[in-house]
Amino acid sequence: RPQLCSTLRRAAQPTMLHATDLSLLDVSAVAAHAQVLINAQVASLANSLHRLQTSGIYSHAASSPFCSMLGVCPPPPPLCSAFGIGCPDLASALSSAYHGALEQHYYSTTAAQAFALVGAGDALSQAIERRGGGGGEYDPARTVRMALLGLLIGGLGTACWLRHLEAALPGHDSAARVLQKAALDACVWAPLANSGYLVLTPLLEGRRPEEVASMVRARFVPVMRTELCTFFPYNLVSFSAVPPLLRPFSTGFVSMCFAVYISWITHRREAMTTREQQQAEATG
């Protein structure tokens, strides 16, 4: 038993020595090592924040500091990056396909989207007219006519105008450049586009040229007034924030809303005349 106790005491001596060594460790070395690790993490976070700031206010989730630090986020598709949308896989694929179509078939893509948007706008306009007492059934031929005009004026004309305007006055470095573009659009292209709608719409419906000229004189100023109130503020935003390749889409969407107004005001007098005739026949 005394030998066993002696052996146990000798076995315990290294353990006691290690405990003593732990108390003698260099605390400054541990602190220095921890400081190096903290500095590395801070530098990584600062770099990620810089990338987030330079990517714009509405950046894709892949630009967030956590995604950048972990390296698990795929690069965002172009359309999602432009509008800051966190897209699922299907939307990302559609966005990339749309962006590729714009790059490879610019005018075909803008014409197709304008046809769809203006056609949908006219269908909505007819629904508004029927609810307002215009009567009658839905006229698909009228929707096709307006969609074809949208393809010609909005899909080809507006897309060509925006491309040449950006080539002549590239960028948005200053407020003066943005105002210059918006003013040129309002003074040059807007009168041409609105006149095209006001003239061609009744002509395609079989109206006489004299009647069309009278309609244009009566409606051009109200339409241009609404144009300036709608598109001039929009163009200030568009020329400042929307990428040039995507402007036909955003302009087409706003144009769809404006086409509802154009289509409605073009056919409003016809509906009013019909109601007046019906009332006259009823009282006569």
89-104 and 106-131 are packed helices; what angle lies between their axes, rounded to 10 degrees?
110
Choice among 167-171, 217-221, 246-250 with the minimum mean pLDDT? 246-250
Q: Give percent of the chain with pLDDT exceeding 70.
A: 58
Mean per-residue pLDDT of the chain: 74
Q: How many other C-beta atoms are found inside a 10 Å radius of the C-beta of residue 177?
A: 15
37 pLDDT above the threshold of 80: no
**37: number of Cβ within 10 Å:** 9
Residue 213 in this model has a pLDDT that exceeds 70? yes
d(CA 122, CA 117): 9
In eight-state DSSP terms, residue 107 is H
Closest CA to 86 of 99, 104, 67, 102: 67
User: What distance in Å separates the CA atoms of residue 219 and residue 129, rounded to the nearest whole number?
Assistant: 18
Distance from C-alpha of 36 to C-alpha of 44, rounded to nearest angstrom: 12
Judged by DSSP in three states, 163 sits in helix
Q: What phi and psi, each to the nearest 5 degrees, are found at residue 55?
A: -85, -5
Considering only the C-alpha atoms of the chain, give the largest distance between any 2 of them, rounded to a whole number of Å. 136
The reported pLDDT for the residue numbered 261 is 72
| Contact between residue 110 and residue 150 where contact means Cβ atoms under 8 Å apart | no
DSSP code of residue 73: P
Show Cβ contacts of residue 99 under 8 Å, excluding neighbours closer than 6 positions.
Answer: 77, 78, 79, 245
Cite the beta strand spans of 206-257 per DSSP E: none
Q: How confident is the model at residue 249 (pLDDT cuts 50, 70, 90)?
A: confident
Mean pLDDT (whole number) for 124-148: 81
pLDDT band at 65 (very low <50, low <70, confident <90, very high): very low
Straight-line distance from the first to the last Cα atom of the chain, in angstroms, rounded to the nearest whole number: 135
Structure tokens given for 87 = 């897209």
Query: What confidence score (pLDDT) does residue 32 get?
Result: 64
pLDDT of residue 232: 93
Stated length of the chain: 284
Higher pLDDT, 216 or 24: 216
User: What's residue 128's pLDDT?
Assistant: 78
- Choice among 83-87, 188-192, 213-217 with the minimum mean pLDDT: 83-87
Cα 142 from Cα 266, distance rounded (Å): 12
> Which two structure tokens, joined as six digits, stand for 148?
């074809």
Residue 38 is predicted with a pLDDT of: 60
Is the pLDDT at 102 greater than 50, yes or no?
Answer: yes
